[in-house]
């Protein structure tokens, strides 16, 4: 009993203030999180507009699409239909994430309207080594995905960067980061494509 009393005497301030501070952070976070989320959406839309220059409007798809992440977890993906000024579908975009070399890599991926070619990707957030892994943000690496077939991609160490195919040339000195990006893109694109086909949102192979 005495022990508990002593413990409480010593630490009551810590317990009370932890609770108060926790509450304070929770309230601030709750108040600001819609705005922060909106900022993220704006940023993503800006990136997609660069990848699909005709993009004007982004419509969230009602159908639920769930994919198996690289860690084996089921994750819901929000898929956006990208519309042009003339209200025609010009492509699709979604977010995908996976673990990189240092931290999680979060990408936004855009595809053409038939889900056949990748229009490109951009990095929403990453924490790769400056000078090496962070080259995944550079055009010379990202341009390889532009026009690549929407399916399994493969990482190679030697090859031509200019040819647009399913082979992606790694960044020298940053194989793990390059591999992570290729896996994230490849994994999410193949699964989403398959599910969207099943649901009849995009055309079948026969068409």
CB 188 within 8 A of CB 109: yes
The answer to whether 50 contacts another protein (rule: CB under 8 A) is no
The token pair at 178 is 């390059």
Closer to another protein by CB, 81 or 106: give it.
106
In this complex, which beta carbon is closest to another protein, that of residue 31 or of residue 86?
Answer: 31
- Site stretch for another protein (CB under 8 A), options 14-22, 66-74, 93-101, 105-113: 14-22
| CA 101 from centroid of its chain's CA atoms | 16
Handedness of CA 112, 132, 96, 37 (dihedral sign): negative
Which of 6, 7, 8, 36 binds another protein (CB under 8 A)? It is: 36
Q: Are 49 and 84 in contact, with CB atoms under 8 Å apart?
A: no
6 binds another protein (CB under 8 A): no
Stretch 117-156 residues interacting with another protein (CB under 8 A): 127
* Minimum distance of another protein from residue 134's CB (angstroms): 11
The single-letter DSSP state of residue 143 is G
| Stretch near another protein under the rule CB under 8 A, chosen from 32-40, 77-85, 114-122, 166-174 | 32-40
Q: What is the largest CA-CA distance in the chain?
A: 79
Q: How far apart are CA 88 and CA 57, in angstroms?
A: 10
25 binds another protein (CB under 8 A): yes
**Count of residues binding another protein (CB under 8 A)?**
17
- How many CB atoms lie under 10 A from the CB of residue 44? 20
**Residues interacting with another protein, by CB under 8 A?**
10-11, 13-14, 17-18, 21, 24-25, 28-29, 32, 35-36, 39, 43, 127
């Amino acid at each position: 009993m005495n022990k508990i009393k002593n413990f409480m005497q010593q630490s009551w301030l810590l317990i009370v203030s932890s609770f108060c501070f926790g509450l304070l952070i929770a309230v601030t976070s709750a108040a600001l999180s819609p705005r922060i989320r909106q900022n993220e959406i704006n940023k993503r839309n800006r990136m997609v507009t660069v990848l699909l220059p005709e993009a004007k409007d982004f419509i969230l798809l009602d159908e639920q699409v769930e994919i198996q992440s690289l860690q084996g977890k089921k994750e819901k993906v929000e898929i956006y239909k990208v519309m042009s000024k003339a209200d025609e579908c010009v492509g699709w975009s979604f977010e995908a994430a996976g673990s990189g070399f240092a931290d999680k890599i979060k990408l936004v991926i855009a595809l053409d309207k038939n889900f056949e070619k990748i229009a490109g990707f951009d990095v929403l957030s990453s924490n790769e080594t400056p000078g090496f892994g962070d080259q995944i943000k550079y055009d010379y690496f990202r341009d390889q995905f532009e026009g690549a077939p929407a399916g399994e991609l493969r990482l190679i160490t030697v090859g031509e960067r200019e040819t647009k195919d399913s082979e992606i040339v790694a960044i020298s000195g940053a194989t793990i980061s390059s591999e992570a990006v290729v896996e994230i893109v490849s994994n999410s694109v193949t699964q989403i494509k398959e599910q969207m086909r099943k649901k009849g949102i995009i055309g079948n192979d026969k068409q």
